[in-house]
Amino acid sequence: MPAERKKSASMEEKETSLSNKEKEFGERRPVSSRDRPKEDVRLGMKREMLKPPEDKKKKMEEEKRKKDEKEWKKKEDEKIKSEEEQKRKEEEEKQKLEEEEKKKQEEEMKLQQEEAAAKLKEKEEAHQLHQ
Could you read off the pLDDT of 61-72 as tens digits, one per residue?
A: 999 999 999 999
Enumerate the domain spans of the chain.
54-130
Residues recorded for the chain: 131
pLDDT digits (tens, 9 = 90+) for 18-39: 566 555 555 555 555 555 555 5
CA-to-CA separations, 45 to 32, 33, 58, 130, in angstroms, rounded: 19, 19, 21, 125
* Cα 78 off chain centre by: 16
Q: Does the predicted model carry a pTM greater than 0.75?
A: no
Q: Which residues, other chains included, contact 26 with Cβ-Cβ below 8 Å and sequence gap of 6+?
A: 34
* Cα 47 off chain centre by: 28
26 within 8 A of 34, measured Cβ to Cβ: yes
